[in-house]
Structure 1
């Protein structure tokens, strides 16, 4: 009996092995077909997924006459936008931007501004008081010397911002470009329904940054941040006249501001300082908004923008101020990577 049972088990084992050898190629072919089918389906699905990058370029525009007065009555048909000298189609236009503003106020607290720190504090508090008149706008306050430090995150509380400003002390080197880069990278451009701007209060002399001026400009362009500069070089009448010829630091601060679509001011007296604050506030309150879809590829390169006015007499009578370009990179990728 045991002999017959052992023979039966042996025959059963051999039969299973033979069946396995017969069906193995069939299963292997089926797996290959399934893998090919899945790959084909994934490829088709990938083709249907839109590739998002720089799908729309936003250009805030300010127009002034020869006396520096803002021009309000222009319409979409009065503007033309060129990218790399090629005419673009304007997709959207706003005669007056109503987006809430998120402002970053960056104060130079390095040793070079120690005699001017009181001037800087008064400048910062005065500016914030003029801007935060509505609850829809918010301000961030940061300082830079040998380190970049966030003192107060975005808030609409003048009291909280003023308290943070009053507590700062001066000392150390100047990391202006590092401050611009870090604040832009970490805090700006996160909500497309808001406008982002930066106010730099400094004497303009960068001495210790790891980032370059061009890197600071590039990240601001990518994040669509307009940069305005208030120079404290004259700093409360510390021996530098308001009409002094600009040095290299002044030119770099001007380039940082104007290349991103902003402006720089060199107040030498209290009245000039107040006028600078008023001008910045008026600029942000009286901007046209232009949107267009770029025809260029996401090549990681800088593409130059030029905004022109069309119509008789506009070129001679009016001045157009806008950012000079943008970096064509996919969303979420740093412009300088």
Structure 2
């Protein structure tokens, strides 16, 4: 839900990504069987890390988030209290759709269940992000490996420098971990060369659940985004050979528990007009997941032209502010809490996740 208990320095913002240089080494492919995804989703929603995920060793390039020391910040004084925080990523645009930069913490007000909340940390739109990229290499993509490889390579090249990137793929009904978090684009490019051949069923929703589980601490607590490259077709929607256990409604509920914004880059697998009804359902299901987090679904007609979406994606990432606030009502009741953000400037459009369940 983007909540945590920690010692909070009032004068500190969450600028860990700007200061921590993470250098990863390329690893061998790590294929994770996609099983029990629905149970994993339910555990994550309730704030528990499933044992199957807990037992997996963490890569040495993934340190815990550091809290800046008072000496590093040099404020006139420091006040520390142990509090649970809720973190939000907020997209701000003007009416023409352009990203709005230069906003300050005093420009924002956050309301939870219509109660004004105290903002205790703020990150500007220039702070780098932790990006998790999931590439759909399942049999439904109907494209060869080279098309997927080229599209993903162009995406990584288009992303602004400074972002940390983790890379996963769905192939042969498994979640394949291609690369852990790294700033080194050369290492990431080398890992991309191990992108699997397309094949197998398409438990896409389950693959997204397992990606959340693998990246849970980072997607929940840090300034982050999940980018999914896919044709959007889960075998649950079409009746394929490997349907997801996770229904779209549960995936939406899971996504709302995380601070991460979801962006879906969907490639239309058909040229039929109008598109089949099941394809419309599949697209709308993923769009609901993205919108629930404050993100968007972008559509391209083929893998060959998907790079046309990348500038718009970069503009989205460049418009994200991060706010952490201390909820006035203690957590733990598991009830839905609605979030509303107001900006003290007229004519601006704000997007963010609508709320969370207070486990």
- Verify same fold: TM over 0.5: yes
* Residues in 2 aligned to 1:241 and 1:120: alpha-carbon distance in whole angstroms: 24
Shift of 1:203: 1.3
Matched position secondary structure for 2:177: strand
- 2:309 aligned to which of 262, 272, 276: 276
Aligned to 1:299: 333
Q: Provide, for residues 104-129 of structure 1, a one-character-per-residue CA deviation record: whole Å limited to 9, x for no partner.
A: 21111222112365443322111111
Distance 1:271 1:191, change over 3 A: closer
Aligned to 1:11: none
TM-score scaled by structure 1?
0.69
* Residues in 2 aligned to 1:210 and 1:308: alpha-carbon distance in whole angstroms: 37
Matched position secondary structure for 1:299: coil
Shift of 1:164: 4.2
Shift of 1:65: 1.7
Aligned to 1:195: 223
Shift of 1:146: 2.0
Give the conservation status (yes or no) of the 8 Å contact 1:88–1:292: yes
* Residues in 2 aligned to 1:79 and 1:287: alpha-carbon distance in whole angstroms: 13
Distance 1:74 1:240, change over 3 A: farther
Aligned to 2:271: 239
> RMSD of the TM alignment (CA)?
3.1
Distance 1:230 1:117, change over 3 A: farther
Shift of 1:270: 7.5
Aligned to 1:266: 299
Task: Tell me if 1:72 matches 2:101.
Answer: yes
* Residues in 2 aligned to 1:87 and 1:230: alpha-carbon distance in whole angstroms: 35
Give the conservation status (yes or no) of the 8 Å contact 1:188–1:196: no
Give the conservation status (yes or no) of the 8 Å contact 1:181–1:215: no
* Residues in 2 aligned to 1:325 and 1:69: alpha-carbon distance in whole angstroms: 25
Aligned to 2:178: 151
Q: By percentage of residues, which structure has more helix?
A: 1
Q: By percentage of residues, which structure has more strand?
A: 2
- 1:108 aligned to which of 133, 136, 139: 136
Task: Tell me if 1:326 matches 2:343.
Answer: no
Aligned to 1:175: 203
Aligned to 2:38: none
Shift of 1:159: 4.1
- 2:255 aligned to which of 220, 227, 230: 220
Distance 1:278 1:106, change over 3 A: same
Task: Tell me if 1:122 matches 2:157.
Answer: no
Task: Tell me whether 243-252 or 276-285 shows the greater mean CA deviation.
Answer: 243-252
Shift of 1:160: 4.2
The unaligned stretches of length 5 or more in structure 1 are 1-50, 330-337
Aligned to 2:36: none
Give the conservation status (yes or no) of the 8 Å contact 1:105–1:198: yes
Shift of 1:253: 0.9
Shift of 1:300: 2.0
Shift of 1:306: 1.6
Q: Which of 1 and 2 has greater Rg?
A: 1
Give the conservation status (yes or no) of the 8 Å contact 1:143–1:150: no
Distance 1:97 1:88, change over 3 A: farther
Give the conservation status (yes or no) of the 8 Å contact 2:89–2:223: no
Matched position secondary structure for 1:93: strand
Q: Provide, for residues 155-185 of structure 1, a one-character-per-residue CA deviation record: whole Å limited to 9, x for no partner.
A: 3343443444444211221111111111111
Matched position secondary structure for 2:199: coil
Give the conservation status (yes or no) of the 8 Å contact 1:79–1:310: yes
Task: Tell me if 1:91 matches 2:107.
Answer: no
Aligned to 2:290: 257
